[in-house]
């Protein structure tokens, strides 16, 4: 069970829940974006609110093992992310956090790091860019925690294949030979 700070718990118990996202993209350059209406300084880093955050998937809790991916869509009018996409960002880290607005003050709860929660930590799996002449959008699809279930990794059981991993390993030296060994079983 997830434990929340007292500040978050009071927001969740209230009638009005307002939230914002903090997104970190660790590409060749590090990008920090927020969906809040103004820049936010959190944990010593500034998250810009230049309107770049277009859409973020809601966190999904699933009772079955599935390959549901996580999507972040960012507006890229200045081609900042386009150059990153061209330099291959597959496997680069993405972090998305959610923060809450204090209903009494109307300000973000960011003074304590426990008041901001991770909703996604992963890696870029499928980046894409779309340009409909009104908006240029970069879609970053993050890997699913179960994405490795589709992976196929062959492992050959031959003397040469094991030598690629460890040149001193002799465990497969006699796999293809007619090799017989007698073991004594029980008490000797």
Q: What is the pTM of this model?
A: 0.71
Nearest alpha carbon to residue 119 among 100, 106, 104, 105: 100
Residue with tokens 């993050």: 142
Residues 27 and 84 sit within 8 Å (Cβ to Cβ): yes
Helix, strand, coil percentages (3-state) for the chain, rounded to 5, are 15, 35, 50
pLDDT band at residue 33, thresholds of 50, 70 and 90?
very high
Nearest alpha carbon to residue 38 among 28, 47, 29: 47
The 10s digit of each residue's pLDDT in 103-149 is 888 899 998 888 899 888 888 888 888 887 778 888 898 876 555 55
Task: Compare 54 and 93 and report the one with higher pLDDT.
Answer: 93
């Amino acid at each position: 069970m997830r434990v929340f700070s007292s500040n978050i718990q009071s927001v969740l118990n209230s009638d009005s829940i307002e939230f914002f996202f903090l997104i970190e993209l660790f590409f060749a350059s590090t990008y920090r974006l927020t969906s809040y209406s103004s820049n936010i300084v959190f944990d010593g880093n500034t998250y810009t609110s230049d309107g770049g955050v277009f859409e973020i998937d809601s966190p999904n809790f699933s009772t079955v093992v599935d390959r549901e991916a996580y999507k972040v869509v960012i507006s890229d009018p200045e081609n900042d992310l386009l150059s990153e996409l061209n330099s291959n960002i597959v496997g680069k880290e993405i972090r998305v956090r959610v923060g809450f607005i204090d209903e009494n003050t109307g300000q973000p709860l960011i003074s304590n790091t426990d008041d901001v929660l991770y909703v996604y930590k992963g890696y870029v799996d499928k980046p894409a860019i779309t340009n409909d002449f009104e908006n240029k959008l970069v879609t970053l699809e993050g890997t699913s925690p179960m994405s490795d279930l589709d992976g196929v990794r062959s492992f050959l059981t031959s003397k040469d294949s094991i030598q690629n991993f460890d040149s001193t390993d002799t465990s497969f030296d006699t796999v293809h030979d007619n090799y017989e060994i007698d073991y004594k079983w029980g008490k000797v």
